[in-house]
Amino acid sequence: MTAARLLLPLSLALLAACASAPKQNITVEKQSSCPLALKTGQNLILTLPSNPTTGYRWAIQDSAGGVLRVLSPEVYSSAESGVIGGGGQSTWRFQAFAAGQGRLRLTSQQPWEPEAEPAETFDCAITVN
């Protein structure tokens, strides 16, 4: 009987701790999700529409290096397998490692025309607590 009495309060305490813990992964797919507030240790998964067959590539201009750490390089996945020239998405993974503020800024442009205006820009203020 004593073990059963201890098990219930312990179970409730564990459930409460899990409910109050922040989600480990935060996924962002559009500019309207910004600005972002993250906790130290949380992962940011950024996914943007991409079509490298057109010559346009996303490039990180500012990685919020004081507060975010890059966990993986860009990973491109095609939305429509077998369709030549079809679009897809590019995904990056970051981890919030230090408290502070920074900007995560990417631009989409053709690499051989660096002086041209970017076709698209993703600019997000990041705060890590």
Task: Kindly list the domain boundaries of the chain, sorted by start residue.
Answer: 22-128
CB neighbour list of residue 119: distance below 8 Å, 6 or more residues apart: 56, 108, 109
Tell me, what's the pLDDT at 22? 58
pLDDT value of position 2:
53
Tens-place pLDDT, residues 78-94: 877 666 777 899 999 99
**Confidence band of 18 (pLDDT split at 50, 70, 90):** very low
Q: Does residue 11 carry a pLDDT above 60?
A: no
pLDDT (tens digit, 9 = 90+) per residue, 31-74?
999 999 999 999 999 999 999 888 999 999 999 999 999 999 99
Q: Which of 32, 70, 67 is nearest to 48 (CA)?
A: 32
pTM of this structure: 0.78
Pick the CATH number of 22-128 from 1.10.443.10, 2.60.40.2020, 3.40.50.720, 1.10.3720.10: 2.60.40.2020
Q: What is the mean pLDDT of the chain?
A: 85
Q: What does DSSP assign to residue 31?
A: G
Q: At 92, which helix (H) or strand (E)? A: strand 88-96
